[in-house]
Amino acid sequence: MRVNAAISQEKMAKKLDCDRKTIINYELGVSDIRSKQLFMWLVYCKIDSGSLLNEIKQIRDQVNSTKTSRLQDEEQ
């Protein structure tokens, strides 16, 4: 997202009021980003958070559906 928005790690760090190493850790999955910072990140990258949340919901529903199907198959 950040790269596609042409925002450097340094600029994102300034926008989120943290250091560049924190941005690197977020991107590598070393650290979890706080929800407030995540929404700020989305705004800076011009990502529609509503659409993103809908996509997450759809993925979650698909995963839950797959789990339910597997459980039913195992019971038979």
Q: Is the pLDDT of residue 68 over 80?
A: no
Query: Can you tell me the distance from the alpha carbon of 33 to that of 16, in angstroms, rounded to the nearest whole number?
Result: 11
**Interval 57-75 mean pLDDT:** 79
CA 40 to CA 62: how far, in whole Å?
28
In angstroms, the CA 25 to CA 49 distance is 22
pLDDT > 90 in the chain, percent: 67
- Domain residues of the chain, as ranges? 1-45, 47-76
Distance between CA atoms of 47 and 7, rounded to whole angstroms? Answer: 13
Q: Of residues 51 and 30, which shows the higher confidence score?
A: 30
Residues 6+ apart with CB under 8 A from 61: none
User: What fold characterizes domain 1-45?
Assistant: 434 Repressor (Amino-terminal Domain) (1.10.260)
The pLDDT-based confidence of 65 (bands split at 50, 70, 90) is: confident
> What's the token pair of residue 18?
């943290």
Residue 19 has pLDDT above 80, yes or no: yes
Q: pTM for the complete prediction?
A: 0.67
Question: Token pair for residue 12?
Answer: 């994102």
